[in-house]
Amino acid sequence: MMILRCPAQLQLLEETLRKSLPTTLPVLGTVMTVARGNPASHEVLVDSWPHFGVVLTRLRPEEHRDPRDYYANQLAVFYRDKGALHALLRGTEAVNPARAFQILGTQDGLDEAVQEVASARGLKVE
């Protein structure tokens, strides 16, 4: 996963996400916030650039205070490729299973993917 920090990259991502509204709404808001100064200390991650399969937004890891606070550790996700979503949930450090977290997204299949990965890791999902 790579973190997008460049204003031009964030602007291009914003334009791309706008084309798929309302499905992209959970991540688009954070992308817009980060591109406009980032007062909430979030970051935008993609699996590849510029042809991404999944976008994840989250609070910067150094801003986490309590590993049990799933309200502070909200993740928003948009994916074009279900395989990229599974790879994100299974094999990257972008999602830390040692912390309580929420995943926000509007796409069909997100809940099933989270349930599948969680059960494979022996984690509880509510």
> In this predicted structure, what is the pLDDT of residue 65?
74
- Cα–Cα distance between 6 and 20 in angstroms, integer? 22
Report pLDDT for 92: 64
pTM, two decimal places:
0.84
Stretch among 24-28, 34-38, 72-76 having the lowest mean pLDDT:
72-76
Alpha helices in the chain (DSSP H): 7-18, 25-35, 82-91, 110-121
Structure tokens at 56: 């994840």
Mean pLDDT of 100-105: 80
